[in-house]
Amino acid sequence: MIRRPWAAVDYEALMRAYPPAPEYFETAWLAPPEEIEATQLARLQERALAAAKVPFFERRWAAAGFDARSLATTEDLWRAPFYTVDDIRRSIEAHPPWGDYQGVLPEDALREPMRVYMSGGTTGKSRPTFYTQWDREVGAVLTARALYMQGIRPGDVVLNSWAYGTHNGAFAFDEALHRWLNCVVITTGTGNVTSSERQVEFAIEYGATAILTTGDYLLRLADVAREMGYDPSADFKIRALPNIGDRERLESRFGVECFNSYGFHEVQWVSVECPAHDGLHIFEDAFVVQIVDPETGERLPDGELGSICITELYKTGSPQFRYNIMDLSYLYPREQCACGSWLRRMAPFAGRGDNMVKLRGVNVWPEAVGEIALSVPGTEPDWFVRAVRVDRRDELVVSVVSTVADGERDALRAAVEDRLKERLGVRIGAEIVRPGDLDAWTEVNVSPKLKRFRDER
């Protein structure tokens, strides 16, 4: 007996539990703290019982002495062991081909339509995650909330310029726009699939209010539009900007406010900035976010930068229960925001916890290097850091894009190196490259998360 999507998912119940935009911003977004926490605890208890039946969690929780029935408060969540991507890799090796961390398997697709997406596809073995119909729908509701806050409205025409591939990225946006925002999606894919000139034509001709891609590519499209004889600020009807890229440059180029947001493949959208632009509100009806020390996994206090350890509260398929994702951020204490919301806020994505390099005794994050390099006038918002071994010493080299004349490149390189030395206290090499030179390294046309660092030691 095959169950179709509408039989597998009770859509009325789904919308009551996870209100979509715009209703969400008049209801759960403004809920009082007691209500937020009560909802979280009830869902957390339910998710713990479900995860306990998945072999991966059953095994790890037994080893750590954690009993899923012992969750009396959200605070108790700290007693459950966290896991990282390495544990997922080991699970796949020991239990090929899907690993034992999945809550569902292909045969369950008869009971409920399912999808599978891969992470880590370009380097090393792919890590699959199954999503039930319910998981896809709620995930799309969450993504649609973030897109709505960023300025996209029902009925808009939107270009989706992410890569439709084995990764969730493009599909998560597509489903959010199509199913929960009633937008008309033009499925251009990246510049490799639909040329930049065609993307510009589509955007201008059909009055697209957003082009979903990186900030760098959007700025490049504006340049292409100018080369084609358009005036990007007048001819584009852009109303929502990407959350990755040089915010100031994007805002000034398009005259639109930028709203940061955060999400990742396995759990979809987690948080979004509000008009107060002071931290990203977490969708707490669907997540508990904790911050831990990237090296030890120990709890860190509010305000301290560490790795995001996430527990989703909404799924029916593969659980993420204390997944230490190694993305860096920090938490704000719970207090009411100027926008009226009590939802906890987190800082924007601040780099990768596993990318830290110890350089002559100083801890350096590649993202900090990139940010400082871009603060030097004459640089374009595109960079890449490599860790290399020179004369038995660890060194960092930052490549920065610039369009300055050949005769000015040496002076710019020296200026970047001087500023890095001044700000970080260690010498870091710089090189100046041309637009497009870093695309193969950053994977700008392939992946929704730009790569900014490579360890070549």
Interface mask toward Zn ion for 283-322; x: CB under 5 A: ----------------------------------------
The region of 32-40, 54-62, 273-281, 351-359 touching Zn ion under the rule CB under 5 A is 273-281
End-to-end CA, the chain: 55
Contact 344, 332 (CB under 8 A): yes
The region of 68-76, 247-255, 270-278, 427-435 touching Zn ion under the rule CB under 5 A is 270-278
Contact 329, 336 (CB under 8 A): no
When the beta carbons of 224 and 337 are compared against Zn ion, the nearer one is: 337
How many residues bind Zn ion (CB under 5 A)? The answer is: 5
When the beta carbons of 60 and 345 are compared against Zn ion, the nearer one is: 345
276 binds Zn ion (CB under 5 A): yes
Query: Amino acid identity, residue 159?
Result: L
For Zn ion, the binding residues in 334-353 under the rule CB under 5 A are: 337, 339, 341
* Nearest alpha carbon to residue 263 among 244, 241, 250: 244
Q: Give exposure, 4-21, as e/b (b: 16+ Cβ within 10 Å).
A: eeeebbeeeebbebbbbb
When the beta carbons of 339 and 415 are compared against Zn ion, the nearer one is: 339
When the beta carbons of 107 and 335 are compared against Zn ion, the nearer one is: 335
The region of 69-77, 228-236, 332-340, 410-418 touching Zn ion under the rule CB under 5 A is 332-340
Contact 54, 319 (CB under 8 A): yes
The region of 203-211, 274-282, 357-365, 376-384 touching Zn ion under the rule CB under 5 A is 274-282
SS3 (DSSP) at 79: helix
When the beta carbons of 8 and 339 are compared against Zn ion, the nearer one is: 339
Contact 318, 102 (CB under 8 A): yes
Place of tokens 């380097």: 123
Taking CB atoms within 8 Å and a gap of at least 24, the contacts of 8-17 are 8/111, 8/112, 8/113, 8/132, 8/133, 8/134, 9/112, 9/133, 9/134, 9/137, 11/137, 14/134, 14/137, 14/138, 14/141, 15/141, 17/285, 17/314
Nearest-approach distance from CB 286 to Zn ion, in angstroms: 17
When the beta carbons of 337 and 404 are compared against Zn ion, the nearer one is: 337
Interface mask toward Zn ion for 234-253; x: CB under 5 A: --------------------
The region of 46-54, 139-147, 271-279, 324-332 touching Zn ion under the rule CB under 5 A is 271-279
Nearest-approach distance from CB 137 to Zn ion, in angstroms: 26
Sign of the alpha-carbon dihedral angle for 40, 42, 45, 46: negative
Nearest-approach distance from CB 337 to Zn ion, in angstroms: 3
Nearest-approach distance from CB 25 to Zn ion, in angstroms: 10
The region of 50-58, 197-205, 258-266, 269-277 touching Zn ion under the rule CB under 5 A is 269-277
When the beta carbons of 206 and 332 are compared against Zn ion, the nearer one is: 332
When the beta carbons of 253 and 344 are compared against Zn ion, the nearer one is: 344
Query: Amino acid identity, residue 100?
Result: D
* Nearest alpha carbon to residue 176 among 261, 276, 280: 261
Nearest-approach distance from CB 452 to Zn ion, in angstroms: 28
Inter-helix orientation angle 366-374/409-424, to 10°: 130
The region of 23-31, 106-114, 330-338, 355-363 touching Zn ion under the rule CB under 5 A is 330-338
When the beta carbons of 324 and 341 are compared against Zn ion, the nearer one is: 341
For Zn ion, the binding residues in 89-148 under the rule CB under 5 A are: none
For Zn ion, the binding residues in 418-447 under the rule CB under 5 A are: none
Nearest-approach distance from CB 148 to Zn ion, in angstroms: 14
When the beta carbons of 109 and 337 are compared against Zn ion, the nearer one is: 337
Contact 383, 373 (CB under 8 A): yes
When the beta carbons of 276 and 440 are compared against Zn ion, the nearer one is: 276
> In 122-255, which ranges are E strands?
127-132, 157-160, 184-186, 210-212
Ramachandran assignment for 151, one of left (phi > 0), alpha (psi -120 to 50 degrees), beta (any other): left
Nearest-approach distance from CB 273 to Zn ion, in angstroms: 8
Nearest-approach distance from CB 342 to Zn ion, in angstroms: 9
- CA dist., res. 22 & res. 181, Å (int): 9
SS3 (DSSP) at 402: strand
- Residues lying near Zn ion in the complex (CB under 5 A): 274, 276, 337, 339, 341
